[in-house]
């Protein structure tokens, strides 16, 4: 059997660990041959391939990014996109695809599976917002990077009696902000799921200054104030899946806090640092287990499925179920975090 592998959407630490596990198990246990598709769905769409075998996977386990490249190409937004993919797969003699991606990449995989393409999905996103799985790899790495940044920012904020606002990734879900904010002892954590009240945020800032500590406010890039407005948008630019490019809330928040409290406030945007570099041991472990399970699913012809972590077990769920809705921070989980605000 000839199997194509692709990685789509925002890159994420652990992608190479999945590729390595799929290939190692596929070759060793099932005698598969592999084709690497370049840059997400652009690969099968334009027939962009690269050699992929055990040799190409040597040494990639701890490497961030993806050896296959990535893009946010959406074949369903292009003329004859699906036909072109089917034709290119047939021309390359590819019998099955392993698609590693988030909501958008796996959304495409779901539709292609319905149209008869033999595809299995592996969930990835640093945002950890896919409902079908307890965790996605990449999230643990991002949380650790953000926590280390918060730890470092505490000491400099205290030395200068400043407010530091830390903007982290999280388009729709505040998981990175919540986990890193709690782990790093933030004075407040602001997430997309719960519009924030700027007056309350300023009150938390004042309370923290009553001690010898200085306030650290952790904010998701997708957080919005209760009065609404456009505090988050860097530009109106949209990607092929219709997502607006976010960023900017940190600076806006810092200047609003400075204006209202009279305390100096600065913003630190962690941005793509959270997605780069070597994955944590947990992410390597999770990515490897997903990859092993994906190879097994292909061997069994269990197409249209997505690998999922449920408790400590790796299970397969229908792709449609895995991508049906976003997993968001619940009001209860946010209430627990609020105990530490101020
Ligand atoms: O989906 C993962 C993610 O890192 C989001 O947290 C963020 O909004 C988005 O990707 C940024 O994407 P890009 O790197 O394409 O601007």
Integer Cα distance of 49 and 294 in angstroms: 20
pLDDT at position 229 is 53
Residues 166 and 269 in one domain: yes
Distance CA 87, CA 171 (A): 35
CB 297 within 8 A of CB 30: no
β-bridge partners, 189: 218
Ligand 1 close to Cβ of residue 10 (< 6 A): yes
Residue 8 Cα to chain centre, angstroms? 11
> Same structural domain for residues 17 and 126?
yes
Tell whether 72 and 183 lie within a shared domain.
no
Q: For residue 332, is it within any domain?
A: no
| CB of 124 closer than 6 angstroms to any ligand 1 atom | no
Cα of 121 vs centre of ligand 1, distance in Å, is 19
333 found inside a domain: no
Total domains in the fold of the chain: 2
341 located within any domain = no
110: left (phi over 0), alpha (psi -120 to 50) or beta: alpha
Q: Does the beta carbon of 246 lie inside 6 Å of ligand 1?
A: yes
In order along the chain (342 residues), what is the average pLDDT of each group of 10 residues? 97 98 98 98 98 98 98 96 97 98 96 97 96 96 98 96 97 96 98 96 95 94 80 61 77 95 97 97 98 98 98 97 92 97 96
b/e code 293-302 from CB counts within 10 Å (16+ = b): bbbbbbbeee
Query: What pLDDT was estimated at residue 342?
Result: 95
Q: Indicate the top mutation candidate among 126, 171, 273 to test ligand 1's pocket, ranked by most ligand atoms within 8 A of CB.
A: 171
Q: What is the CATH number of the domain that holds 262?
A: 3.40.50.460
Strand partners, 225: 196
Rounded to two decimals, the pTM is: 0.93
Q: Are residues 18 and 123 in the same domain?
A: yes
Residues identified as active-site? 127
Q: Is 102 in the pocket of ligand 1 (CB under 6 A)?
A: yes
Q: What is the pLDDT of residue 186?
A: 97
Q: Which two tokens stand for residue 220?
A: 């998701």
Q: The domain containing residue 82 runs over which residues?
A: 2-137+279-322
- 223 with 286, same domain: the answer is no
Residue whose Cα lies nearest atom 15 of ligand 1: it is 10
The whole-number pLDDT of residue 322 equals: 87
pLDDT per position as a tens digit, 39-84: 999 999 999 999 999 999 999 999 999 999 999 999 999 999 999 9
Q: Provide the 10 A C-beta neighbour count for residue 188.
A: 25
User: 116 with 226, same domain?
Assistant: no
Alpha carbon of residue 234 to chain centroid: 20
147 in a structural domain: yes
Same domain, 197 and 299: no
Instruction: Kindly state whether residue 239 falls inside one of the protein's structural domains.
Output: yes
- Report which protein residue has its CA nearest ligand 1's atom 14: 10
Q: pLDDT digit string (tens) for 267-297?
A: 999 999 999 999 999 999 999 999 999 999 9
Residue 10 lies in a domain: yes
pLDDT for residue 205: 97
How far apart CA 42 and CA 36 sit, in angstroms, is: 12
């Amino acid at each position: 059997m000839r199997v194509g592998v692709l990685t789509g959407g925002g890159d994420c630490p652990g992608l190479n660990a999945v590729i390595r596990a799929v290939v190692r198990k596929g070759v060793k246990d099932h005698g598969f041959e592999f084709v690497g598709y370049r840059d997400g769905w652009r690969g099968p769409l334009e027939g962009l391939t690269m050699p992929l075998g055990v040799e190409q996977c040597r040494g990639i386990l701890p490497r961030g990014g993806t050896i296959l490249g990535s893009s946010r190409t959406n074949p369903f937004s292009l003329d004859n996109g699906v036909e072109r993919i089917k034709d290119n797969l047939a021309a390359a003699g590819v019998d099955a695809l392993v698609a590693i991606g988030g909501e958008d990449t796996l959304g495409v995989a779901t539709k292609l599976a319905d149209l008869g393409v033999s595809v299995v999905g592996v969930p990835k996103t640093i945002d950890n917002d896919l409902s079908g799985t307890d965790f996605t790899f990449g999230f643990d790495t991002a949380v650790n990077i953000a926590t280390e940044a918060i730890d470092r920012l505490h000491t400099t904020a205290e030395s200068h009696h400043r407010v530091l606002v830390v903007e982290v990734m999280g388009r729709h879900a505040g998981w990175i902000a919540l986990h890193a904010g709690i782990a790093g002892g933030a004075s407040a954590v602001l997430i997309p799921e719960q519009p924030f009240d700027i007056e309350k945020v300023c009150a938390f800032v004042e309370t923290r200054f009553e001690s010898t500590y200085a306030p650290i406010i952790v904010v998701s890039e997708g957080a919005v104030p209760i009065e609404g407005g456009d505090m988050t948008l860097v530009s109106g630019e949209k990607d092929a899946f219709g997502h607006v490019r976010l960023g900017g809330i940190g600076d806006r928040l810092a200047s609003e806090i400075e204006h209202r409290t009279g305390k100096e406030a600065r913003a630190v945007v962690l941005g793509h640092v959270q997605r780069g570099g070597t994955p944590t041991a947990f992410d390597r472990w999770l990515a490897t287990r997903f990859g092993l399970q994906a190879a097994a699913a292909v061997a069994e012809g269990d197409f249209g499925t997505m690998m999922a972590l449920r408790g400590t077990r790796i299970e397969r769920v229908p792709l449609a179920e895995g991508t049906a809705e976003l997993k968001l921070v619940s009001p209860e989980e946010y209430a627990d975090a609020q105990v530490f605000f101020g």
